Amino acid sequence: MKEIVVSLVCTFVLAPVLAFAIFAVSWWGTAPDPIMPQPSHLAPRNTNTTTDPPGGNQVISTSMRPVSGRLLFLANCASCHGADGSGKGDLVLDRPARSFKDGGFSFGNTLPAIERVIASGIPGTPMPGFKQTFTPAQRRSIARYVQSLGPPIIKSDPDATQMVITDRPRVVRGELASLGADLPSHPRGIIAGGTDGLSWEYRVDDVRLLAVRQGGFVQLRNWDGRSGEPLLPQGRLVRLIDDGGPDASFLVDGRPVRSVLKGTAFESDTIVIEQLLDDSDIAVEEAGRAITIGPLSGYARSFRFGNPKNLKVGINLHLVGEPKEIGRDSKGVVWYRTLGPDGLVELTGLRNAALDEQDGSSIAVVAGGTDQEVEIVTLLIADWDDSMSRTLLEDEVST
């Protein structure tokens, strides 16, 4: 544990500084000689013939700009993924880092997919988010380098078999397969995918979030609903809510209510799920997106309520364990820690809502008044240690 902390410090504090220095040197190095020919052997290639560890006899050239993806990789990623991308870094992880050499990308091997994983990390694993560390251009050059470590990409038309998210969010409707043994399938469901790489699986006869996934979106074979087969979501599970069979999402005056789907709408990078709570005239607009706080990664759900009668509304948090309060951050988010599924630590941040308990379930009670917006942030952490609460309470939230 201590080792990991030390290594993390190296990774997040020292490595970016080093990387920047090297990057700056390489930039400066090229500037005086703009017509210098570009030796093509220095550019990242699909065949990685380097077997020497970096820092050995091999001289790492710093004179060419295209190499920066590689240098940033060596400084920030190699400790876990190995200098050659084999997944054998110096850090010993409970959950091993991915080998890029064999091309096994469960989150997609396209440039945008790799860039998204670099930005948002993988919640619940040691893979940190680098949104605040790198500019988009740096993420692109690292992604190019990561891609070059793998086998050549066979170009096939992904749209022929998969529905993918590119520049705008998408939503598909159809039957959802059961998410667990003894659980029913849902004849009416939707899967909403944002441009941040997260997708959200809801049953909609009574709107309830069932699962949050990351990576691919939906397999195409049946998304038009004509084949009679359920939708096949492609992303990897980040969080299965209540083992796939959650209770009602909302409570009004302390009683669980049915939520009726009114429609879906696009809002910049996400899909908004519009709902109406039975017998109460309360309208809800719900949306979700990826979030990172420092290196911690997860997702945020926001809820806008139109609540003309000003009734008491609660949102079921579906927490697994008993929440312990961590504190309030500078933006007024109050943070709680629970032991989540799979032994992960789950952090829950509440904005404009207060934690309450009812029949053993944790409920976020919406602060009074009409048209309130509530945010519930979930971070999933593989290796929690108490110093992280400082990151949490001091760091700026980036979306």
Which positions touch ligand HEC (CB under 6 A)? 11, 73, 76-77, 79-81, 91, 93, 95, 97-98, 105-107, 114, 117-118, 122, 125-128, 130, 142, 146
Closest CB to ligand HEC among residues 91, 374: 91
Closest CB to ligand HEC among residues 146, 271: 146
Closest CB to ligand HEC among residues 114, 345: 114
Task: Go through 224-262 and write b for each residue having 16 or more CB atoms within 10 A of its CB, e for each that does not.
Answer: eeeeeebbbbbbebbbbbbebbbebbbbbeeebbbbebe
At its nearest, how many Å lie between ligand HEC and the CB of residue 238?
Answer: 10
At its nearest, how many Å lie between ligand HEC and the CB of residue 179?
Answer: 19
Residue keyed to tokens 């005056």: 253
Closest CB to ligand HEC among residues 113, 353: 113
CA neighbours within 13 Å on the CB side: how many for 247? Answer: 18
CA-derived radius of gyration, the chain = 23
Instruction: Kindly state the tokens that stand for 263.
Output: 């429609």
Task: Output 159-163 pairs: Cβ under 8 A, ≥24 positions apart.
Answer: 159/220, 160/220, 161/219, 161/220, 161/221, 162/216, 162/217, 162/218, 162/219, 162/220, 162/234, 163/217, 163/218, 163/219, 163/220, 163/223
Task: For residue 320, give Cα distances in angstroms to 19, 254, 289.
Answer: 40, 20, 21
Q: Nearest to ligand HEC by Cβ — which residue?
A: 77
At its nearest, how many Å lie between ligand HEC and the CB of residue 78?
Answer: 8
Distance separating alpha carbons of residues 204 and 273, to the nearest angstrom: 10
Closest CB to ligand HEC among residues 371, 385: 385
At its nearest, how many Å lie between ligand HEC and the CB of residue 121?
Answer: 8
At its nearest, how many Å lie between ligand HEC and the CB of residue 239?
Answer: 14
**Sequential DSSP letters for 25-52:** HHHHHHTT-TT----GGGS--SS----S
Q: In terms of DSSP bridges, do strands 313-316 and 345-351 run parallel, antiparallel, or are they unpaired?
A: unpaired
Instruction: Kindly state the tokens that stand for 34.
Output: 């703009």
Dihedral sign from CA coordinates of 55, 61, 62, 64: negative
At its nearest, how many Å lie between ligand HEC and the CB of residue 360?
Answer: 31
At its nearest, how many Å lie between ligand HEC and the CB of residue 260?
Answer: 36
At its nearest, how many Å lie between ligand HEC and the CB of residue 395?
Answer: 18
For residue 307, which of 264, 352, 268 has the smallest C-alpha distance? 352
3-state secondary structure (DSSP) of residue 364: strand
Closest CB to ligand HEC among residues 125, 259: 125
Closest CB to ligand HEC among residues 284, 344: 344
3-state secondary structure (DSSP) of residue 196: coil
Closest CB to ligand HEC among residues 89, 323: 89
Closest CB to ligand HEC among residues 125, 234: 125
At its nearest, how many Å lie between ligand HEC and the CB of residue 89?
Answer: 7
3-state secondary structure (DSSP) of residue 341: helix
Closest CB to ligand HEC among residues 91, 291: 91
DSSP 224: T
Closest CB to ligand HEC among residues 133, 362: 133
The region that residue 204 occupies, defined by phi over 0 for left and psi between -120 and 50 for alpha, beta otherwise, is alpha
At its nearest, how many Å lie between ligand HEC and the CB of residue 213?
Answer: 12
Distance separating alpha carbons of residues 107 and 96, to the nearest angstrom: 15
At its nearest, how many Å lie between ligand HEC and the CB of residue 350?
Answer: 28
